[in-house]
Structure 1
């Protein structure tokens, strides 16, 4: 990976389109959001890095970027956003291929996904910011911090026990409980077949994934995600991250040659990856602190939002 080209200056900031009308997947139509939330946040499209990105923005203060994981979208952060917005400008995009963002055929390696977000933040006028990433968003946020260290002030990384290329890959044959949580990675990497098998059965496939990763989410929440993943082009877009795994693996091998120097908070759900997230980041960063979120499995921002906000607030205020 060419670090110099990754860190090239972006064009002048692009003015975002006006707040979006209430279409499915925006703040205006997503379920269970309070009046205060809808007053604080709005959905908009921003054209950045050649991609039309859907992003939810609100609050005032130092910028913090929240990067969701698979198979979710910005809505995964809804239970922590309003509290964080009291002291921060909170920026929550849909990843390339997910939610209402564009779903091109290519560009799902973490180098490109990180550049999407760096360009997005530039377009919104934020040259320095903190980042929080969960699941696939953890891998993207690591790439963002590694490729744009002058832009990222500090980074919190949640719920991956070891980044590909940074720690050794698990063997093909692992105990059943671990296999059940990891099998989607090789499955999602296969071209075309997953779409043919999952289309029309999204509730079965994604319902299983939400459950097996740890902890039950409310039915209306999983239904919300599954409806979005059932929209045209959404399955292919959701698998894109996994189909560029080889490129991400090679990039991370290069990234790991230089440890992150900014503060890093490694976050694990108490009933999920726990302290393994911090252990996995020791080879990738110089200054790693670990937070285990009580009362949470994999879906930390939805299962224990108060405990997560407490950990993030302490981290963001630390020297």
Structure 2
């Protein structure tokens, strides 16, 4: 009889733990706000020490859902769709990463956030760096995830690689070529930038992002982030003259940025921890979720 009671107690305890865990990891809320003159969409979840997540190209705030589920247990998590992406507005410009960071800062200010930890992947890491460079006293920790920093070190070794034609792919003709073929275009990124394309983005996510970018004017806006790289480079080179001292974690894929981004980071910040994720390509959140999410949670605690 006592064994039966003990077993029932354990079952009830496990059920209560599951309910508690589900309550902690509630689905993030979808919100809209006017920030820096742009209507931005953002996801929000949790309470506590704020963390702001900035997505990369071909994706949106949706990419952060697995991380939001963990971080929101102990943090207020904000994941905006950057200007021109997701459900946010698509202004004509500019799409420099400094201005995109000003959007996010205006969003944070409107929410009463005076200091935050920030995370950026791909284009989002450029926005995150521009945020920290412009508002260093308002950032307590920063994470850069797999891409590069325009204007820093030998950045043109990446920008001018002949197989990275997409950095120079914008204007009327590219827009006409990809209209109605958004997914075909994005498959280049999702497949070729992965260590193993079968372990890259899921089919559901590919459909989701292709539909988001197929919205009116979204492909043009996406192309504009590349057109702005030369302006970004000039601004980042100026920022780098005053190195940050903020704790910085740099995560890269072994089959993607490798050591390059880590080396760049050490030129702009004096407090850098660099980690190369083995057997991963560019899509760290998707290719190495089980390794990357715990590293991010630990660093951001």
SS at 1:150 equivalent: helix
Q: Which runs of 5+ in 1 are unaligned?
A: 1-34
Quick one: structure 1 residues 314 and 52, their matched pair in 2 at CA, closer, same or farther if it must change by over 3 Å?
Answer: same
1:168 equivalent in alignment to 2:151: no
The residue aligned with 2:166 is 184
* TM-score for the superposition, normalised by structure 2: 0.86
Q: For residue 246 of structure 2, what is the aligned residue in structure 1?
A: 262
SS at match of 2:118: strand
**Number of residues paired by the alignment?**
277
Aligned-residue CA RMSD (Å):
2.1
The runs of at least 4 aligned residues of structure 1 exceeding 4 Å deviation read 35-38, 171-174
- The residue that corresponds to 1:90 in the other structure is 77
- 1:154 maps to 141
Q: Is residue 60–residue 87 contact of structure 1 (8 Å, CA) maintained in 2?
A: yes
Residues 38 and 193 of structure 1: CA distance in aligned 2, closer, same or farther (over 3 Å): farther
Alignment partner of 1:63 out of 32, 38, 50: 50
Displacement of 1:237 in angstroms is: 1.3
Aligned match of 1:137 in 124, 133, 136? 124
C-alpha change, 1:37 and 1:248, in structure 2 (3 Å) is: farther
Retained in 2: the 8 A contact 1:84–1:309?
no
- TM-score norm. by structure 1 comes to 0.82
CA apart distance, 1:296 = 2.9
* Cα-to-partner distance string for 1:207-248 (whole Å, 9 max, x where unaligned): 122111114321121111111111111111111211222221
Which residue of structure 2 aligns with residue 195 of structure 1? 175
SS of 2:281 mapped into structure 1:
coil
Separation of aligned partners in 1, 2:254 and 2:159 = 25
CA distance in 2, matches of 1:254, 1:113: 17
Q: 2:32 aligns with which of 38, 45, 54?
A: 45
The residue number in structure 2 matching 1:277 is: 261
Measured in 2, the distance between the counterparts of 1:100 and 1:277 equals 29
Conservation of the 8 A alpha-carbon contact between 1:134 and 1:159:
yes
Matched, 1:219 2:199: no
* Residues 53-132 of structure 1 mapped to structure 2, 5 A cutoff: 53-132=40-119
> What's the CA shift for 1:250?
1.2
Q: Distance in 2 between matches of 1:41 and 1:313?
A: 17
* Deviation for aligned residue 1:164: 1.0
8 Å Cα contact 2:117/2:142 also seen in 1: yes
Cα distance in structure 2, aligned partners of 1:90 and 1:151: 16
Instruction: Indicate conservation of the 8 Å contact 2:116/2:139, yes or no.
Output: yes
**Structure 2 equivalent of residue 29 of structure 1:** none
Distance 1:38-1:101 versus aligned 2 partners, 3 A rule: farther
Larger Rg: 2
| Structure 1 partner of 2:186 | 206
- Compare the two structures and name the one with the higher helix fraction: 2
Deviation at 1:155, TM superposition (A): 0.3
SS in 2 for 1:65: strand
Task: Find the aligned partners of 2:65 and 2:277 in 1 and give their Cα distance.
Answer: 17
Structure 2: state its 5+ residue gaps: 1-21
